[in-house]
Amino acid sequence: MGWGALGRIRALAHKEMIHIVRDARVIYLALGLPVVLLALFGYAVSFDLDRLPIGVVDQDHSAASRRMVEAMTASDAFRVQAQLRDAGEVPAAFRRGELKAALVIPRGFSRSLARGERAEVQMLLDGADGTTANIALGYAAGIAQAETARLLSEAGLVLEPPLLARARVRFNPGMRSARFIVPGLIAVILSIMAVLLTALTVAREWERGSMEQLFATPVRRVEVIIGKLLPYVAIGVVQVLLVVTVGAWLFGVPVVGSLGLLFGAALLFLTGMLGQGLFISVVTRNQQVATLAGVLSSMLPTLLLSGFLFPIENMPVFLQLVSRVIPGRYFIVALRGILLKGNGIEVLWPQFVALGLFALAMIALSSGRFKRRLD
């Protein structure tokens, strides 16, 4: 590529940047919406159990049963919403949506404890929300084990288990779901915004009739594609800076690894997604169709098939194969590796190669489909 080609690309990029600056809505969409979406999704999508409404069926009415209720509600995981007379009232409360769980303490609970016999309590869960039910079950089991250990200690019984496992949580000691979700959210938001920003570019030129003027110039197809891509790459880099800063400020997501590596991965990802948007605009030539195709082709695959919320290993084999062509899959791995684990290029090079290949493929497809003639 000679100096003449570089000059033509620079002129096209300058022209596209003028269009962007003149349209304030593009600036608001490009820089404001990602921050708003990150805040909304970050607070709304959470796997942390916080003040889950539960009912209590205390049929024993003893000091021991009250201690059990206090132990269950000592943390912020559960809060007592209702006192029920018997377990038969629980299903109706579940149907009305008033409760998500219920603690049932049967008669004779304190007597069994005093005799050193096995005392049982029951936790009923609303299984309509399987994710919340499983998390609540884990919390309840941990609280019950802690209460059992306390009772044994008070009785002077110290039982040493034959096998003692000590778990240490690395990279997210507080087990906060935001640290897991926010890196994936960054990938989802950037993919949607990048595709939408460029999906309207060439389609807008066709609808306004300005493509004829472009055909009259000696600019080649690949130069048109690159010239239109560069301004949006610059905007995308600013988007990355904004969402990473907001993620660290609002949700405490650390940046353990290299910022240079982070922006390198983001640059490859943005180039690929912006190229995908250009390809859609070249094919559709209609802003409405381009917008719809851009949203569907960016949001759904990145949201569902990238490992953002659901492990890829748990998907059917066919969907696992499909996920291999989803760039969000590799970008999310790179983000979590850099932000949370401090991984370097020696670990993340497969993700960089995959993102680079996708970016080249999108630019090649866009250039190949762009025709210098009017149909």
User: How far is residue 225's CA from residue 363's CA, in Å, rounded to a whole number?
Assistant: 7
Instruction: Looking at the structure, tell me whether residues 198 and 311 fall in a common domain.
Output: yes
Instruction: Looking at the structure, tell me whether residues 300 and 238 fall in a common domain.
Output: yes
- Is 256 within 8 Å of 341 (Cβ atoms)? yes
User: How far is residue 45's CA from residue 58's CA, in Å, rounded to a whole number?
Assistant: 34
Instruction: Looking at the structure, tell me whether residues 139 and 84 fall in a common domain.
Output: yes
Q: Is 99 exposed, middle or buried (0-12, 13-18, 19+ CB in 10 A)?
A: buried
**Residue type at position 46:** S
> Which domain range does residue 83 map to?
52-154
User: How far is residue 338's CA from residue 344's CA, in Å, rounded to a whole number?
Assistant: 7
Instruction: Looking at the structure, tell me whether residues 287 and 328 fall in a common domain.
Output: yes
Question: Three-state SS string across the chain, please?
Answer: CCHHHHHHHHHHHHHHHHHHHHCHHHHHHHHHHHHHHHHHHHHHCCCCCCCEEEEEEECCCCHHHHHHHHHHCCCCCEEEEEECCCHHHHHHHHHHCCCCEEEEECCCHHHHHHCCCCCCCEEEECCCCHHHHHHHHHHHHHHHHHHHHHHHHHCCCCCCCCCCCCCCCCCCCCCCHHHHHHHHHHHHHHHHHHHHHHHCHHHHHHHHCCHHHHHCCCCCHHHHHHHHHHHHHHHHHHHHHHHHHHHHHHHCCCCCCCHHHHHHHHHHHHHHHHHHHHHHHHHHCCHHHHHHHHHHHHHHHHHHCCCCCCCHHHCCHHHHHHHCCCHHHHHHHHHHHHHHHCCCHHHHHHHHHHHHHHHHHHHHHHHHHCCCCCC
**Among candidate residues 154, 185, 219, the one where a domain is terminated:** 154
pLDDT at 55: 92
Instruction: Looking at the structure, tell me whether residues 142 and 273 fall in a common domain.
Output: no
Q: Would residue 332 count as lying in a domain?
A: yes
pLDDT at 348: 94
Lookup: tokens for 96 = 């009305």
User: How far is residue 337's CA from residue 324's CA, in Å, rounded to a whole number?
Assistant: 18
Q: Would residue 134 count as lying in a domain?
A: yes
Q: Would residue 104 count as lying in a domain?
A: yes
pLDDT at 113: 81
Q: Would residue 37 count as lying in a domain?
A: yes
pLDDT per residue over 330-357, tens digit each? 999 999 999 989 999 999 999 999 999 9
pLDDT at 155: 63
pLDDT per residue over 171-216, tens digit each? 777 777 778 888 888 899 899 888 988 887 777 777 776 666 666 6
Q: Would residue 159 count as lying in a domain?
A: no
Closest CA to 68 of 14, 122, 19: 122
Instruction: Looking at the structure, tell me whether residues 27 and 11 fall in a common domain.
Output: yes
Instruction: Looking at the structure, tell me whether residues 64 and 133 fall in a common domain.
Output: yes
Instruction: Looking at the structure, tell me whether residues 33 and 77 fall in a common domain.
Output: no
Averages of pLDDT over each 10 residues, the chain, 375 residues: 71 80 76 86 77 91 89 86 89 89 90 82 86 84 81 65 67 77 89 85 70 66 79 88 89 89 93 90 83 88 87 90 93 93 93 95 84 54
Instruction: Looking at the structure, tell me whether residues 259 and 135 fall in a common domain.
Output: no
Number of domains, the chain: 2
Instruction: Looking at the structure, tell me whether residues 29 and 62 fall in a common domain.
Output: no
Q: Would residue 169 count as lying in a domain?
A: no
Q: Would residue 375 count as lying in a domain?
A: no
- Is 94 within 8 Å of 126 (Cβ atoms)? yes
**Residue type at position 279:** F
**Among candidate residues 92, 122, 154, the one where a domain is terminated:** 154
Q: Would residue 164 count as lying in a domain?
A: no
Look-up of token digits 């994710």: 131
pLDDT at 165: 62
Closest CA to 32 of 284, 332, 235, 325: 235
pLDDT at 358: 96
* CATH number of the CATH domain containing 96: 3.40.1710.10
pLDDT at 271: 92
> Helix crossing, 221-251 with 177-199: angle to 10°?
150
Instruction: Looking at the structure, tell me whether residues 190 and 296 fall in a common domain.
Output: yes
Instruction: Looking at the structure, tell me whether residues 92 and 208 fall in a common domain.
Output: no
pLDDT at 371: 64
